A and B are shown apart, each in its own frame.
Chain A
Amino acid sequence: MADLVCKNLSMTFTAPTDGAVVEALKDINFTLKKGELLSVLGPSGCGKTTLLNMIAGFLNPTAGDLTLGDHTIEGPGVERGMVFQQGALFEWLTVSKNVDFGLRMKSVPASERKKLVDKWLDIVGLAGFGDTPTYQLSGGMQQRVALARCLVNDPDVILMDEPLGALDALTREKMQSLILELWVETGKTIIIITHSVEEALLLGQRLFVMAPRPGRIHKEYKLKFASQGLKQSLRDIKQKAAFAKVREEILTMIWNMEEEIMGGA
C-alpha cells in the first residue's frame, strides 16, 4: 500500500549541441515501503538529484517504471512533497502564507487553513512566526518553514534534496532531530539526499550509496541509527564504534569513486 516502486529506471541526457549522450541513471531497481526513511549518498554526478527529480515528477525517465501505490508517476503531484536545499520559499509571502500555499491552491476554507498552519508551525517550532516575512528568517528557520509547507499538504512521500546542506553544524543537528521526530510522528515515507555521510547514517533507515557513470546503486545498507536517534542524542550515536565503522567504510567507498572519476578524466 503506497509503496514506492522503481523498476529498471534509466535516464539518459543528450546534449543539444554535440549530441553527446550521458547515462545519468541506469537500471535502478528498488522498492520503498510506506514509512521507510531512505537516505541517498554518492559523489557528485552520480544521479542522486536526477533520481529525486524523477520521483517528484519533474523529469520523465527514458526507460523503466516508477509507481507510487497504484499510480504510475507522471508529473509532479501533491502526494509527493519536496524540500529543497535553499528553502525555495516565496519571499513575498509571510511564513503562514508560505505554509498554506498548497492549501490555498486547493481552495481549502480559511478557517481550516489557519488550523492546519498553526498546527504545523507549532510542530516545526515556529509558533508565533506566522506573520513574519520569510526573508527575515535565519536559514534553519527557513528550512522549518519549507518542512511545514510540505507537510501541511499531507503527502505520502517527502523528497528532500540536501535539505540541510546550507546550515551550520549546530542548526543542522537540531534539524536532523526534527526530521527524525517528524518521520516517526507522521509515518511518512521520506527520501533524503545528502552529501554528508554522517547525516545519511543518522537519518537513513535504508541507505543507498550511488556510483557514477552510469549512475547506479552501488551498495545498500540497512541501518539502526535512525531508530536509536529517537531515544538518544545524535552526538552519542556518532561516538559509537559501529557508527564510525560504517562511516569509514562508506567514506572510503566514495573516496575511491572520486579518485576513479578524477583518474578517468
Chain B
Amino acid sequence: MLEWISYHRADIAAVLILVLAAVFLWSVYYGMRTSRLRDKEQVFGDPERTSGGWYWAVCGLTTILLVWFYFSWGLARAYFPTAANELCQVAKVHEAMSPIVARLPIGSRYFKSTDLVVRNSEQLEVIEADLPEGVFTPAQTRDLRQIMVETRELIAVYSDPARVDGAVHRQLANIVGTLQDLTVRVQGGVDNLRPALRPSSAALAQTPWGVGDEEIPNLPMTARGVLFDAVAQDVAAVSEDFLTLRNMPPEAARLIAQIRGDIDRIKAEIEADTAASAEITEARGNYVKAVERIFRRLDDGTIFPANILNEVNEAVAVMLDEVARAKGSLRVVDALFMPGFGVVKTRTICIEQGSSRWLPKPTDVVAKLSLLANPNIEEGGGFKGTRLLWVKWLAIADVVGFFIPDGVVDVLPGGYGTHDASGGFVPTYKDRLLALAQGEVNLGHVPMLDGHIWDSLFRVLVALFFGVLLGVPLGIYMGVSRFFKSFFDPMIELYRPVPPLAWAPLILTIFGIQDDGKIFLLFMVAFAIMVISARTGASGTQISKIRASHSLGASNGQILRHVILPNALPEILTGVRIAIGVCWGTLVAAEMLAGTTGVGFIENVARTVSDYELIWVTILIMGLLGLLFDLFMRKLISILIPWRGKG
C-alpha cells in the first residue's frame, strides 16, 4: 500500500492539485458572495468586519498549498511527467554544443578570438610603456622591444585570413556540414521516422520522475528524447573536432619559435648575471615573466580570423534555433511550470534538487515527515536516535529527585549511616532521604511526552513558567511601587534590549549546552516580557477602581490580589502570548547553536547536509507549533478575560 502510494505520488499530487484548485475557486466565489451580503450591514473600519470569514482562511490555505506545489514543480511533475526527462535531453545538446558556443558570439558579444586579440594587444601596450629604465642592459632592452614587436606580428599573422591553412578551411567546412545535417535531423522531428525511435529498455526501466532519489531519470524515455540524446552525442563529437582545431600558419610557427628562443635567452642571461643586486634581478625576472605570460596566451593557435568562423557561427545559431523550436510545448512547460533556474542547474547533471528549485516537493516532505515521526528508532524512525514526538514512561522518582537538591538532605540534623562491625549497613532516615533526593527510589511511573518536539516544547514551557512566576509579581510591584519601579527598571531595561541570541554564547558557555542553559536563556526572554507587560497592566489600573476598593475596606494586599492583578490580566496574557513567540524563536536559534535534541537541532543538522526536505519539515513543524501556541492563547484569552475591550 505504502509502496503503491510512494510510486504514484505524482498522480496523487495531480488529483490533490485539482481538489485544491476547486476548493480555492469555490472559496473565492463563496467569500465574495458573502462579502457582498455583509457589506450592506457594516461600514468600512468597523472591527466587526473582521469577524468570521473562515472561507477566506480556506482560500488562504489552498493558496499556500497551490503556491507550494507550483514552486516545488509539483504541477509540472503531476501533469507533464515526461517534460523533465525531455528537457534533460535538450540540455545534453546544449551541453555538447557549449565548447563551440564559447568561442562564438552566441550568448556573448564577441568571438573568443576577438577577445584574445584585443586583450593581449592592450596588455602589450601597457607592458611596453612599463619597461623600466636602468634595469636591463641596453642589449636586453632592445631584445625585449623586439619580442613585443614580434608578438604583435604573431597576432597579425593569426588574424590574416589569407594565411589560414587549407586543412583548417576543410575541417571547418566539415564541421559546418555536420551541424547542418544535424539541424535537418532535428527539424525532421520524430513523427515521420521509420523505424520509429524507441527508448531503450534500460531507459524505460528507470524510476519515474519524482519517485526515487535520482529525481529526474537521465536516459531518454520518449522518442523526442531519444532524438535529442542522439543529436547530443553527435554534437559532442563535432565539439571535440572543433576543439582540436588549430590556426598555425608556418609564419606563426616561425615567430613563436623565435620569441620563445629570445625569452629563454634573456632569462638565462638574467640568471647568469650574479653581479646584479637582488632587487635588479627580481625586477628583471618579474618583467620578463609578464612578457612571457602574454606570449603563452598566444602560442597555442586558438585565434582565428573572424570571417573564417562566420559560417560555423551561422550553422550553430541555426541549429540552436531549431532545437529551441523542436522543444515545442517543452518551452512552455519549462517557462511556466518550472519556476526557478530550470531543470539543468549545472549544465552537466540533470537535477531538480538544490537551488534550481525553490521549494521541496510536498510529497517528499510528507515522506520525510512520516519517516521522522516513526517512533521505531530501530527501523530508521526519529532523528539521530531521538523520536520526533512520542510517549515514554517517566519515573516519578526522577522528577522528585530533580526538585530536591541533595544539599537539603546534608543540612538536616543527624548523620548518614556507617557500616557496623559485622560488615552490615543499616540506613538512617538521612540515607533514605538522600536516595529520594537522588531519584533512587521506585515511586512508580507516569506517561510522559518524549522526543525532539517535546524537548523544544519542554524548554519553552519551563522557561515560560518561571518567567510568569517571577516576572508577573515583580512587574505588578513595579507598577505600584516607586522603589520597585526605580530599582529594577535600569536592570531590566539594560538586559532586555540585548537580542537573546547575543546572550546565547555567554549563557551556553556558563550553563553548558544541555537544557538548563537554554531554559535560562529563554527564562531571561520571558521574564523581561512578563515584567513589562505586568507592569503596564498594573500601572494602567484606573485610579477610581483603586479608590473604590480602598473605600470598600480592602487592604493593600487584597487590592493587589483582587483589583490590580485581574486588571492587569489582559496585558499579562498578551505578554504570555508574545513571550511564547519570542521564546520559540530564540529556542530554535539556541538549539542551532548547540545541543543534541530539539527541532532547531534537526534543522541545524539538515542545514549542514543540505537536506532540503528536512529543513522544510522543521520549518513546517515550527510554524505549526507556533500556530497551535497562538490559537491556544487566543482561546485562553477569550475564556479568561471576556471583558477585554468592554470595560
Contact = CB atoms under 8 A, between A and B. Distances in A.
Interface residues of A, number: 33
B546 to A, nearest CB: 9
A149 B646 contact: no
B551 A56 contact: yes
A105 interface: yes
A88 B642 contact: no
Contact of B643 (A82, A135, A150, A153): A135
Interface string A74-103: 011110111011101011110000000110
Nearest to B552: A102
B544 interface: yes
B552 A88 contact: no
Interface string A194-215: 0000000000000000000000
Given A77-B553, A101-B552, A149-B552, A91 B547 contact: no
Contact of A102 (B553, B569, B641, B646): B553
B647 interface: yes
Report the contact-size class of chain B (Cβ under 8 Å from the partner).
20 to 34
A91 B542 CA distance: 12
B607 interface: no
A78 B555 CA distance: 11
Given A84-B544, A86-B544, A91-B647, A76 B550 contact: yes
Given A105-B553, A135-B646, A58 B547 contact: yes
A105 B562 contact: yes
Nearest to A82: B551
A130 interface: no
A106 interface: yes
A159 to B, nearest CB: 8
Contact of B552 (A75, A93, A134, A153): A153
Contact of B548 (A88, A104, A135): A88
Interface string B564-592: 00110100000000000000000000000
A57 B554 CA distance: 14
A43 interface: no
Contacts of B307: none
A76 B551 contact: yes
Given A105-B554, A106-B553, A133-B642, A76 B547 contact: yes
Contact of B566 (A78, A84, A90): A90
B638 to A, nearest CB: 13
B549 interface: yes
* Residue of A57, A88, A93 with most partner-chain B CB within 10 A: A88
* Residue of B547, B550, B553, B643 with most partner-chain A CB within 10 A: B553
B309 interface: no
B545 interface: yes
Interface in B497-513: none
B534 to A, nearest CB: 16
Given A105-B558, A105-B562, A133-B643, A88 B547 contact: yes
* Residue of A53, A91, A133, A155 with most partner-chain B CB within 10 A: A91
Contacts of B549: 101, 105
Nearest to A56: B551
A157 B123 CA distance: 105
Nearest to A81: B551
A92 to B, nearest CB: 4
A90 B569 contact: no
A75 B545 CA distance: 16
Nearest to B641: A92
Contact of A88 (B545, B553, B555, B643): B545
Contacts of A80: 551
B377 interface: no
Interface in A82-140: 82, 84-86, 88, 90-93, 101-102, 104-106, 133-135
Interface string A35-70: 000000000000000000100111000000000000
Interface in A163-210: none
Nearest to A76: B550
Contact of A90 (B545, B551, B555, B641): B545
B240 to A, nearest CB: 85
A105 B549 CA distance: 9
Contact of A56 (B547, B555, B641): B547
Contacts of A91: 643, 646-647
A106 to B, nearest CB: 6
Nearest to B548: A88
A111 to B, nearest CB: 20
Contacts of A101: 549, 552, 554, 562
Contacts of A93: 566
Contacts of B566: 90, 92-93
A133 B647 CA distance: 10
A104 B643 CA distance: 22
A65 to B, nearest CB: 20
B291 interface: no
B647 A82 contact: no
Contacts of A81: 551-552
Nearest to A152: B552
A133 to B, nearest CB: 6
A50 to B, nearest CB: 13
Contact of A105 (B545, B552, B569, B647): B552
A78 B552 CA distance: 5
Interface in A211-250: none
Contacts of A153: 552-553
B51 to A, nearest CB: 18
A79 B555 CA distance: 15
Interface string B234-269: 000000000000000000000000000000000000
Contacts of A92: 566-567, 569, 641, 643
Contacts of A90: 545, 562-563, 566-567
A133 B641 CA distance: 11
Contacts of A159: 551
A75 to B, nearest CB: 8
A131 to B, nearest CB: 13
A97 to B, nearest CB: 10
Given A76-B550, A101-B549, A153-B553, A88 B646 contact: no
A91 B643 CA distance: 6
A82 B553 contact: no
B641 to A, nearest CB: 7
B562 A88 contact: no
Leading 7 A-B pairs by shortest Cβ distance: A102-B552, A88-B544, A76-B550, A78-B553, A91-B647, A135-B646, A82-B551
Given A57-B550, A102-B553, 17 more contacts: A58-B547, A76-B550, A78-B553, A81-B552, A82-B548, A88-B547, A90-B566, A91-B643, A92-B567, A92-B643, A101-B549, A102-B552, A105-B552, A105-B554, A149-B552, A153-B552, A159-B551
13 contacts: A56-B547, A75-B550, A76-B551, A78-B553, A82-B547, A84-B547, A88-B547, A93-B566, A101-B549, A101-B562, A102-B552, A133-B642, A150-B551
